[in-house]
Structure 1
Amino acid sequence: MLYPTAARLVAALLMAALAYVVSEMIKPLMPEGMDFGKFTYVNMGLGALVGWKLIGDRVGRGTVPGINNGVTGAAVLMILGLLLQGSVEMFRMAHRHVYRDPFEALADIFVIALKYFFIIAVPNVLATLAIGGVIVGLLVEATAKRWK
């Protein structure tokens, strides 16, 4: 069910905040002159969605499951972000007629996402995601206990 709770709201807000922080950390790692457009806002929207739906669905089970929930949410956020940004880049390249057929374009989404992963897979970004996920999980669990 998607009924609103305080834990869902807190999870959505905290994951959006984590997405903002990580997005700003990623920008200097990308090639110079890259146009980011709405990169940060899209990632924040993904963070809010992951927080509301994924983390918000699994609250109230205890501290250790809460930590696991937060770390899982951070990992899902990263994977969805990579796939979404890979899709955006694929569509940009498709408008320049780079691909011979649609299947080549779809396959390239994963290649682009993997290329982006290797660019952003630096210790400070991964540590921020992991520690941020733990903090989000703990705070959402505390919220679920406080406001049932």
Structure 2
Amino acid sequence: MPTAARLIAALCLAVVGWLVSEAIRPLYPPNTNFGLFNYVNTALGFYTGWTILGRRAGRGMAAGISNGFTAALMLLLFGLLVQSVNEMLRLAFARHYKGGFEAVTDIFAIGLDFAVKIADGQVLITLFVGGILSGILAEIAARRWG
């Protein structure tokens, strides 16, 4: 059911998704083609905010902070999964794999490589501070309009 808290949570985490995407870009070589990277992560942030953070809003400020942290972690995991699958598909279409099983198992290796690459202080601080602030704002919205 749509609520103001879900909308606020979704919009806040969408902004966090965009900001984290922008913080990740300098970690890669300048000629890297990111394509729809920012937009995909923004959509994932919106989805995560709506389904995870917004659904749990209204349980108190401590829970809001905890839920914001959890939602930020889930955004990170969703982003790693989606971007890893995208990279695997790019490599598969370039005939990098001998079979389907090899391609599917490589998703985890690609995700681990991405996780190590983005394990930067600015990225993680942006992600988790943004997630916590999103949780607080969702909690305020749930109190005000819930």
TM-score normalised to structure 1 length: 0.96
Hey, what's the Cα distance between the residues in 2 that align with 1:87 and 1:34? Answer: 18
Question: Does residue 1:93 correspond to 2:75, yes or no?
Answer: no
Structure 2 unpaired stretches of 5+:
none
Equivalence for 1:65: 63
In the TM superposition, residue 124 of structure 1 has moved relative to its aligned partner by: 1.1
The CA RMSD over aligned residues, in Å, is: 0.7
Structure 1 residue identity aligned to 2:89: F
Out of 75, 78, 88, the residue aligned to residue 76 of structure 2 is 78
Match of 1:130 in 2: 128
- Distance in 1 between residues matched to 2:11 and 2:50, nearest whole Å: 9
Q: Report the Cα distance in structure 1 between the residues aligned to 2:32 and 2:104, rounded to whole angstroms.
A: 22
AA aligned to 1:45 is A
* Aligned counterparts of 1:32 and 1:97: Cα–Cα separation in 2: 26
Aligned equivalents of 1:36, 1:67: Cα separation in 2: 31
Q: Which residue in the other structure is 2:142 paired with? A: 144
Listed one character per residue, the Cα deviations across residues 74-113 of structure 1 (whole Å, up to 9, x for unaligned) are 0000111011001100000001111111111011111111
Amino acid at match of 1:76: M
User: What does residue 30 of structure 1 align with?
Assistant: 28
Relative contact order, higher structure (CA 8 A, sep 6+): 2
Q: Offset of 1:52 from its aligned partner?
A: 0.4
Q: Select 2:37's aligned residue among 36, 39, 47.
A: 39
Q: Which amino acid aligns with 2:60?
A: G
Q: State the shift of 1:33 in Å.
A: 1.4
Task: Kindly tell me the number of residue pairs found equivalent between the two proteins.
Answer: 146
- Give the aligned residue type for 2:27: L
> Kindly, what percent of the aligned residue pairs are identical?
48
